[in-house]
Amino acid sequence: MNNPNFAGHGVYEIKVKGHIDEAWSSWFEDLEITTGFEEDGTAVTIFTGQLDDQPTLHGVLARIRDINLPLVSVNQVEVEMKDNR
């Protein structure tokens, strides 16, 4: 990424296959956990929330990997810009 204002922190949405209970939220950096189904009936969980930096994002992704949840997508839905004043 070649954005001079990108600092790595922002709001992320991470989608995985399968359902996970909200009780896991603290293990996933207190991200909001929402479960649902795709149009084809596939169960999905979406983790949404503020992450401070790329290492934190990678930590969440490692935890998802560690409990064998298939990753569907990772999107940064809002970028926090640093105020350069």
- For 8-17, write each residue's pLDDT tens digit: 689 999 999 9
CATH of 10-79 given 1.10.1660, 3.10.50, 3.30.450, 3.30.70: 3.30.70
Query: 26-51 burial, b if ≥16 CB within 10 A, otherwise e?
Result: eebbebebeeeeeeeeeebbbbebeb
The model's confidence at residue 6, banded by pLDDT at 50, 70 and 90, is low
Say whether pTM exceeds 0.85: no
| Domain edges within the chain | 10-79
Express each pLDDT in 40-82 by its tens digit: 999 999 999 999 998 999 999 999 999 999 999 999 997 755 5
Q: Exposed (0-12), middle (13-18) or buried (19+): which is 16, by Cβ within 10 Å?
A: buried
